[in-house]
Chains A and B, each alone.
Chain A
Amino acid sequence: AQKVTQAQTEISVVEKEDVTLDCVYETRDTTYYLFWYKQPPSGELVFLIRRNSFDEQNEISGRYSWNFQKSTSSFNFTITASQVVDSAVYFCALSEARRGSTLGRLYFGRGTQLTVWP
């Protein structure tokens, strides 16, 4: 069965600190997709990144970077020089590949509440 674990329930940092959000997943599928979503206080789910299981390249997008390690089944997310606007709940999610659809259902972790203090 698929499972996503975000062990950090809450993280507090001061502005400009770097912060890493951990994500560990379980799946028996050889092809799968990993995602990060941001949920600001307004409640919507904002897509941040998708990573395919066959692509272990790390990715950087501005202050955001992602470290995908298949060997440890981890897909960690780092925010560099955090800002108050980064305060949100961050969800890691896993999807299998499905016949007839690129994506199957998303399995979400419980989320990490990040608070960035000024």
Chain B
Amino acid sequence: EPEVTQTPSHQVTQMGQEVILRCVPISNHLYFYWYRQILGQKVEFLVSFYNNEISEKSEIFDDQFSVERPDGSNFTLKIRSTKLEDSAMYFCASSGEDGYYGYTFGSGTRLTVV
């Protein structure tokens, strides 16, 4: 069964550093998303990406964040100048035209900022 693959599964970074979270969506999907989940809290939408541009972003997704699809397979989330409160699980997801199964989520990257 097709999967969304996220790397790394865990990342520890020092406050102020930049991190790049990587995702390989399902190959024939067209819509890509990033969500985050602060420990013990609900899952929150960050950004959606379609046709090589951001289609929607939340109030959380400020200038500290950026997304990119550098090639035909990867979809990245860059967080600049990380803060302690950026510590969370970050989920990548993708969906096809139909989206019947909703999104297919990756297993997540647990980011810890120290």
Contact = CB atoms under 8 A, between A and B. Distances in A.
A110 B107 contact: no
The SS class assigned to the B binding surface is strand
Interface in A31-75: 33, 35, 37, 42-45, 47, 50
Contact of A43 (B50, B55, B97, B108): B108
Interface stretch (A20-28, A80-88, A94-102): A94-102
Contact of A105 (B45, B91, B97): B45
A100 B55 contact: yes
B56 A105 contact: yes
A86 to B, nearest CB: 19
B50 to A, nearest CB: 6
B41 A106 contact: no
A102 B99 contact: yes
A47 to B, nearest CB: 5
A47 B101 contact: yes
A102 to B, nearest CB: 4
B42 to A, nearest CB: 5
Interface in B67-101: 89, 91, 95, 97-101
B102 interface: yes
A103 interface: yes
A33 B102 contact: yes
A35 B31 contact: no
Given A43-B108, A44-B108, A45-B105, A107 B55 contact: no
A108 interface: yes
Contact of B98 (A102, A109, A111): A102
A50 B58 CA distance: 23
Given A102-B99, A106-B35, A44 B107 contact: yes
Interface of B: 31, 33, 35, 41-45, 48, 50, 55-56, 58, 89, 91, 95, 97-108, 110
Identify the 8 closest CB pairs spanning chains A and B, nearest first: A102-B99, A45-B105, A105-B45, A108-B43, A103-B99, A44-B107, A110-B42, A108-B42
